[in-house]
Structure 1
Amino acid sequence: MSHLVGTIAGMTDTKTHLHRDLRNARESLLWKLDGLGEYDLRRPMTPTGTNLLGLVKHIGGIEAGYLGEAFGLPVSDPPPWFADDPDEPNTDMWARSEESSAVIIGFYRRVWAHADATIEALDLDAPGTVPWWPAEDADVTLHRMIVLMIGETNRHGGHADIVRELIDGAAGLRPDFIGLPEGGEAWWADYRDRLGQAARKAAGQ
């Protein structure tokens, strides 16, 4: 009996830690939008069009699916872009001019609350199904989906890190922990120069 209690307690502790990691990843991603105007939130910053608001729109849809629909708990009142033409690629990766940034960010926060309720209501081994995955992979557990969402959110958070730095030079993990050396502009210029020299030397240039 004591072993069973320990196992249950361990699973609860694991879920608490995973949930905390997911919350931290969400906050870090959304922080990258702080202080920017509509143009900077939306403008494409890479050859494939990566943009900050599109990242939030995309990850909100992913989380709504993996921590909602996959467990028979779809998000109520889904936004209009959920009904976009599936034959048009990347519709969830950018914001149309008529799509309010406040609505997109608000939807993401609403997804947080919905997914949090799913996580709190179910055990880690609770079964789910991802119908848009191949049949052999479609059966999942809550544990697997939380881990997947941590990975997805951090992956797109990394994209947002680079996009935000390209826009205005702002960098760091979160407001209370930047996680970068406290060098000034001259220090960073020298740092980049040293990296360039090392790259050229390695390439025999």
Structure 2
Amino acid sequence: MDPFLSLLHSFSSSLTDGELSAMKFLCRDKIRKRKLESVQTVGELFTILLEQHDITRENVAFLEELLGNIKREDLLSKLKQFVDEGEVNAPEDQPDPHEKRLQKVAMEVICDNVGRDWRMLMRKLDLCDVKIDRIVAANPRDLREQLVQALREWQRWRGRDAKVADLITALRSCSMNLVADRVEQKLSLLSNGAR
């Protein structure tokens, strides 16, 4: 079963009729009036938003906005936890824990050192422009968050094939050798500390 759909189902069962009305009102610019009037449950509303790609497992910005507007901080924190833990991939498709730890360190260094040219880096990692544009739209004024989300998207998309070596190779092919050196240096310190 899809963990994202399970999460949406759990949300729909905990939202009241009043909250459904508020959410429907907030969706007026996304869903045609006639279609919106026929919605009787939160599940039906989520189904329409999923079909229209207003919410996807890769882009939950509109869902976050909805939950924030109806003051459901509890559900908002569950959603953020879900996204942070990368629950969208099955466990067997996840990198091993050691590689995941290396990725986390590498991604921190990249986020600290790569600025406006992050799109070029993500294209070298074969992340499609559609996904990049969605990430930018979801985080229009936060350059660092755009990069963080793009790297997470790459991680989710590649699953167990996401390797730190790919990040370093992509950095070097973008002439970001200083950042690649910093990543290698940090990883070296980490592996020497583990001995």
Structure richer in helix, relative to its length: 2
The TM-score normalised by the length of structure 1 is 0.30
The TM-score normalised by the length of structure 2 is 0.32
Q: Over alpha carbons, which structure has the higher Rg?
A: 1
Higher-RCO chain (CA-CA 8 Å, sequence separation at least 6) = 1
